[in-house]
Amino acid sequence: MDARNIDTDLEALEKILSVTFNDKQLLLSAVTHRSYLNEHREATHDHNERLEFLGDAVLELVVTDFLFKKYPAKPEGELTAIRAALVNTVSLSAASEKLKVNQFLLMSKGEAKDEGRARQYILANVFEAFIGAIYLDQGYDQAQAFIASQLFPKTEEIVRQRLWQDAKSRFQELAQEHNSVTPTYELLDQSGPDHDRIFKIGVYLRKELIAEGKGQSKQEAEQEAAQNAITAKAWDEM
């Protein structure tokens, strides 16, 4: 967002969100990262962390109520896992990307250069801040409508493909179903200093390397390897 055209940008963002704010400062705060205020001492609005805190709580209530009513036969543990898949960082950042809110973010020059996982967190936090801002400005029903339009359509795919299940458990289940074998994981490489170690893990069916994954822990790398293996086998399309 260009600081010289904030009013115009906010109007464009309102159209994307399909919400006309009574208090434009709430929307401005929702797209403002803490780092922006460190570089712009003249700014009079707040950053988005308090709105994110509020939005997270509203999001959990709305999604919990929706899943509870939609799946009356599912047990609490499965509902919890489905909810987690629906509101995790990847899901929320994808929702923000779909809304194309990147162009509206107010961040420091350093934060603006961050990509990958760091940007995912920022986009997920902004999505929750939008919810908090809408809740304060428009009330619960409007916040619920926004969440429903952006997230609820993903629910059936999550349930159908069992995306609520962690990738390792899912890949093991699929491997046993299709190949009657339990996957094994091996450390292929590790690099970087002790405080920023990157692990590369390979997942095998018998002796065949199916896929690899990287992460800042072995567990994270194994999860990525398992998800990549599901994709490599095209089992996520079945």
**Any binding-site annotation on 38?**
no
Pick the CATH number of 3-160 from 3.40.50.300, 3.40.50.10490, 1.10.1520.10, 1.20.1530.20: 1.10.1520.10
Catalytic pick from 11, 76, 78, 128?
128
User: For position 235, what pLDDT does the model report?
Assistant: 85
Among the listed residues 152, 61, 58, 12, the one whose alpha carbon sits nearest the alpha carbon of residue 31: 12
The per-residue pLDDT for 1 is 56
pLDDT, position 196: 83
Cα 104 to Cα 15: distance, rounded to the nearest angstrom: 13
Considering the chain, what is the average pLDDT of its residues? 89
Instruction: Name the more confident of 170 and 229.
Output: 229
- The span from the CA of 89 to the CA of 182, in Å, is 29
Residue of 56, 212, 222, 224 with catalytic role = 56
Q: How confident is the model at residue 3 (pLDDT cuts 50, 70, 90)?
A: low
pLDDT band per the 50, 70, 90 thresholds, residue 97: very high
Q: What percent of the chain has pLDDT over 70?
A: 91
* Residue 128 annotated as part of some ligand binding site: yes
User: Catalytic residue at 56?
Assistant: yes
Q: Kindly indicate the confidence band of residue 177, based on its pLDDT and cuts at 50, 70 and 90.
A: very high
How many other β-carbons are positioned within 10 Å of the β-carbon of residue 130?
30
Per CATH, is 167-237 categorized as 3.30.160.20?
yes
For residue 40, what pLDDT band results from cuts at 50, 70 and 90? Answer: low
> Could you state, in order of their start, the residue ranges of all structural domains in the chain?
3-160, 167-237
Task: Tell me if 52 is assigned to a ligand binding site.
Answer: yes
Burial of 160 (0-12, 13-18, 19+ CB in 10 A): exposed
